[in-house]
Amino acid sequence: MGFGDAVLQGGKKAASPGKASIMALGKAFPHQLVMQEFLVDGYFKNTNCDDPVLKQKLTRLCKTTTVKTRYVVMSEEILKKYPELAIEGLPTVKQRLDICNSAVTQMAVEASWTCIKKWGRPPTEITHLVYVSSSEARLPGGDLYLAKGLGLRPDTQRVMLYFSGCSGGVAGLRVAKDIAENNPGSRVLLATSETTIIGFKPPSADRPYDLVGVALFGDGAGAMVIGSNPVQEIERPLFELHTAIQHFVPDTEKIIDGQLTEEGISFKLERELPQIIEDNIDEFCVKLMRVAGYSRKDFNKLFWAVHPGGPAILNRLEKKLELSPEKLSASRRALADYGNASSNTIVYVLEYMLEENNKITRRESEAEDSDWGLILAFGPGITLEGILTRNLTA
């Protein structure tokens, strides 16, 4: 059997024996929905700022990010209770963590419950938990609070990935894959949860990147159940996770520079980021594709689940690899509807990919595309995370 041959199980594709698969997806969001067209006025009102230059800059950024809606934990009620969050230079890390620690747990529990219900087995059958967040800091960590909120067994084995940024979701997926494949019968819950409150600040000419964050980032949570050798008639694998790799670009540690300070997290993002990704993405993808027998000329035969760090990154990747516009449609939809929600966003991309796949007839998909694809994300380091995957629902 070749790499491209489907294994059939009851008339449907089945994951390769021993290979981990995503068996269910779930998501959750805070209740506050922000329309991009109203964001500028609301943000400047809430931070008591009337700088016309900064306001004009944010207005321009809000258009270029292509984001249309986002969900956020921040609200007028929170600002009334913690007015110091909107004042420059005050030590507020304790207040931020009080809000964030509770919020990310609540969202992670909701996303995980949605995912577990789709999976179709009780939460007590989860054997391992991988928890990802760049929005909290506490001991014990959010993994324990999530396990408690879901009623997981006390012998559930837990792993935390903190402060991985935008690559955290795919990094967590790589770790979950390794656990699932090396522990027969295991079922791994991967949960991600993020809120921008940890870095919320008033506008400042001294911190131009803050405005990029205001225009781009959103809050939410995502969840997946990962396991190998699915139980027939109960579990319905969605994506086989065939091969996972990670690569960091040397001497790029300061391109995405985040520091946890007394005023919360402060980020600095250099303009070279899209170019660095463009310069390194080709060989990184080819390395994964070779495993399935594909070469550089086959980019458009694969599907692409790419974390939408921003439109510039998607545009550079599309141009560099000469992808057809529809190849990144799920990523662009996720960016428009949820913003860059950091580690969570890959869950939203995969859900849109499944939705779009259901609208395409089998004859149309057989014309050019294969069942193989890549799951990609980029984060601090600069770190590239990639997984060669196979769509089992196509």
Distance CA 25, CA 208 (A): 36
Query: Which has the closest alpha carbon to 224: 185, 166, 152, 169?
Result: 169
Which residue among 62, 100, 115, 166 is the active-site one? 166
Cite the beta strand spans of 229-319 per DSSP E: 239-248, 256-261, 264-269, 303-306
Distance CA 44, CA 49 (A): 5
Cite the beta strand spans of the chain per DSSP E: 7-9, 12-14, 20-28, 32-35, 69-72, 128-133, 157-162, 187-194, 220-228, 239-248, 256-261, 264-269, 303-306, 372-379, 383-391
Distance CA 58, CA 62 (A): 6
The maximal CA–CA distance of the chain, rounded, in angstroms, is 66
DSSP state of 6: P
Alpha helical stretches, state H, 48-92:
52-64, 76-81
100 as an active site residue: the answer is no
Which residues are known catalytic residues? 166
